Structure 1
Amino acid sequence: MRIVVAGGAGFIGSHLCEALLADGHEVIAVDNLLTGQRAHVQAFLDHPRFTFLEHDVTQPLDLAVDQIYHLASPASPEGYRRYPIPTLLVNALGTYHLLELARRYGARFLFASTSEVYGDPLVHPQVESYFGNVNPIGPRSCYDEGKRYGEAMTMEFVRSYNLDARIVRIFNTYGPRMDPHDGRVVPNFITRALRGEPLVIYGDGTQTRSLCYVSDLVRGLRLAMDRDGLAGAVINLGNPHEQTIRELAELVLELTGSMSPILFAEPRPDDPSRRCPDITRARTLLGWEPQVPVREGLQATIAYFAQVLNHAPSAGL
């Protein structure tokens, strides 16, 4: 098949491109490199079935394709705070143009949404039928509301044009190719531990996250795309194993052998206190659940960051 991965030079997008190429597909990675990195796809730039197209999907695109994965968007706090308006635009106008492309060629479409649409949830664990508890004008709203708008746009194309589109809500994903400076808890803790710097917890450390390794997430995305009969479906993809931020910090210190202290700071505005997916739909519709234990995934991620930090000058970090 001929497959577009919008955001293909990003953290998750590049892993998805790699997996699709390995299975024999023709892959077109579309990325404006706002937060994506050409280095993420460098290893397969010369692959005969891979094309990299530097393009902003807020502008129309015309390619005959069979499937479109829409992962184009800043996804980390540092990214969407630096580029709040582009974040809103790529999830609104970018989603529209990619949906129109799917409609033009009869392609199947997957919108990569986020657990952030649940905001600071009052329902736990979070089920897909929950409408969320989101601050529409807060400092995270460019991402939260951008994704919620993208979901609404996707569903209108399903209802109005019978487009074969589905929505996946991605929970905290981690692994190699994350940006060490992207502001998320895993790279923050690992880079600080490796440098011997304090691990800063914003709040009292009892807030929770559920970490899903990138290979598990990519497998879930592909199942959600390839499974027939899912037009209009909304599916959580994430790890239902919940742990506190304090527990995560202690595990990172253990795995890195770091003597870094743990410090506490004021909570960040609108930071969710609990985050854990209900993955009943993913299990039922896709036969999917995470397989990589957090300890194993963190070890691979630590090894990646150790290499990146050792080569910081040449990596431009």
Structure 2
Amino acid sequence: MKKILITGAAGFLGSHLCDRFIKEGFHVIGMDNLITGDLKNIEHLFPLEHFEFYHHDVSKFVNVPGELNYILHFASPASPIDYLKIPIETLKVGSLGTLNLLGVAKEKKARILVASTSEVYGDPLVHPQNEEYYGNVSPTGPRGVYDEAKRFMESITMAYHRYHDVDTRIVRIFNTYGPRMRLNDGRVVPAFMGQALRGEDLTVFGDGSQTRSFCYIDDQVEGIYRLLMSDYTDPINIGNPHETTILEFAQEIIQLTGTHQKIVYKPLPKDDPLQRQPDITKAKEILGWEPKVGRAEGLKKVFEYFKSLTPEELHDKEHRDFSGIA
């Protein structure tokens, strides 16, 4: 039985990856410091013989006894509300955490896939964004703690690949949504749905003409799985190329939820990307991957998930601190 370490295992994306690799017959070791993750996302796995969990911060020394075949490094705050609150921890997990896990991969001769992001492109001057584009990022702006942590992650990963011959993969993840997202994490889908379900006006930043491209979680996990099992070592975009404006998306949410809130406008945050759309040519050609779940279908599934939350979860005070900016 193959053994895989998944960091950030209690997070939104990490928990779905744990599910997938259990289903594929792996022995899964989950690791998370729970700074943004939630054990509720993986509690259904605790009774399983081939799942184990360690409460640990990968920015500190990481030890995994015995044989290890694969590592997925997904430990990182992934939304503005998180990484603006804990900027130092965000930088550390992208730098020291990645360094520690690359060391484990080198020692164990394990293949490691690191989770980068479309944010490495910053506020792009190329549209759609392909993997050859170097980006337009402010290293000293408020979002720089996340953007530059991921850019460093890519650099040190390639350095270990070239210098130490570590078997590495890099995925650049574009906006992903699905069940288990936190209402209070600041990303667009849960922000708008939470506001709609609470009967609040939907907050749009700027004039709403900025664009995003939303990929359903099942498609994202499939792309990551295929990349890990491939022989491709350069960064690759995994996301849904169907682009929409934030204003159009807010209107979709109002229609989906059957609510009648107004849309209110606030100033655009500093360094907020005006365009985000992946070029997935490489994913199609190299991995044979493209998204299958349309936005209407995916949003219905997420809406049912958020409707199932308790009133306490839906009205968590922390939701007052954010609106959809990711």
TM-score range normalised by the length of the shorter chain: over 0.9
Aligned residues: 315
User: CA 1:217–1:85 in structure 2 vs 1: closer, same or farther (change >3 Å)?
Assistant: same
Q: Secondary structure at the match of 2:31?
A: strand
1:1-317 correspondence to structure 2 within 5 Å: 1-63=2-64, 64-227=67-230, 229-231=231-233, 233-310=234-311, 312=313
Gaps of 5+ in 1: none
Q: Secondary structure at the match of 1:308?
A: coil
User: CA 1:136–1:315 in structure 2 vs 1: closer, same or farther (change >3 Å)?
Assistant: closer
Between the aligned partners of 1:76 and 1:307, the Cα distance in structure 2 is 23
User: CA 1:250–1:315 in structure 2 vs 1: closer, same or farther (change >3 Å)?
Assistant: closer
User: CA 1:313–1:267 in structure 2 vs 1: closer, same or farther (change >3 Å)?
Assistant: closer
Residue identity opposite 1:176 in structure 2: P
CA-CA distance at 1:70 after TM superposition:
0.4
Between the aligned partners of 2:317 and 2:10, the Cα distance in structure 1 is 16
Residue identity opposite 1:245 in structure 2: I
CA-CA distance at 1:193 after TM superposition:
0.5
Between the aligned partners of 2:252 and 2:162, the Cα distance in structure 1 is 46
Between the aligned partners of 1:109 and 1:101, the Cα distance in structure 2 is 9
CA-CA distance at 1:24 after TM superposition:
1.1
Which residue is 2:323 aligned to?
none
CA-CA distance at 1:54 after TM superposition:
0.4
User: CA 1:247–1:313 in structure 2 vs 1: closer, same or farther (change >3 Å)?
Assistant: closer
Between the aligned partners of 1:316 and 1:32, the Cα distance in structure 2 is 23
> What are the superposed Cα offsets for residues 119-166 of structure 1, whole Å, 9 maximum, x if unpaired?
000000000000000011001010000000011010000110111101
Between the aligned partners of 2:147 and 2:255, the Cα distance in structure 1 is 33
Between the aligned partners of 1:290 and 1:102, the Cα distance in structure 2 is 30
CA-CA distance at 1:313 after TM superposition:
8.4
> What are the superposed Cα offsets for residues 31-69 of structure 1, whole Å, 9 maximum, x if unpaired?
000101111101111111000110100112222310000
| Identity between Structure 1 and Structure 2 (%) | 49
Moved more, 266-275 or 305-314: 305-314
CA-CA distance at 1:309 after TM superposition:
4.2
Q: Do the aligned partners of 1:256 and 1:302 also contact (CA within 8 Å) in 2?
A: yes
User: CA 1:116–1:258 in structure 2 vs 1: closer, same or farther (change >3 Å)?
Assistant: same
Q: Secondary structure at the match of 2:42?
A: helix
Q: Do the aligned partners of 1:164 and 1:230 also contact (CA within 8 Å) in 2?
A: no
User: CA 1:16–1:146 in structure 2 vs 1: closer, same or farther (change >3 Å)?
Assistant: same
Between the aligned partners of 1:23 and 1:152, the Cα distance in structure 2 is 30
Between the aligned partners of 2:115 and 2:25, the Cα distance in structure 1 is 23
Structure 1 length-normalised TM: 0.97
- CA RMSD of the aligned region, Å? 1.4
Query: Which runs of structure 1 show a deviation greater than 6 angstroms over 4 or more consecutive aligned residues?
Result: 313-317
> What are the superposed Cα offsets for residues 234-256 of structure 1, whole Å, 9 maximum, x if unpaired?
10000011000011001111110
Between the aligned partners of 1:314 and 1:27, the Cα distance in structure 2 is 34
CA-CA distance at 1:22 after TM superposition:
1.1
Between the aligned partners of 1:74 and 1:28, the Cα distance in structure 2 is 20
Which residue is 2:321 aligned to?
none
Gaps of 5+ in 2: 319-326
> What are the superposed Cα offsets for residues 275-296 of structure 1, whole Å, 9 maximum, x if unpaired?
0000001001100011100011
Q: Do the aligned partners of 1:308 and 1:315 also contact (CA within 8 Å) in 2?
A: no
CA-CA distance at 1:207 after TM superposition:
0.6
Structure 2 length-normalised TM: 0.94
CA-CA distance at 1:308 after TM superposition:
1.5
Q: Do the aligned partners of 1:115 and 1:169 also contact (CA within 8 Å) in 2?
A: yes
Q: Do the aligned partners of 2:198 and 2:314 also contact (CA within 8 Å) in 1?
A: no
CA-CA distance at 1:312 after TM superposition:
2.5
CA-CA distance at 1:314 after TM superposition:
11
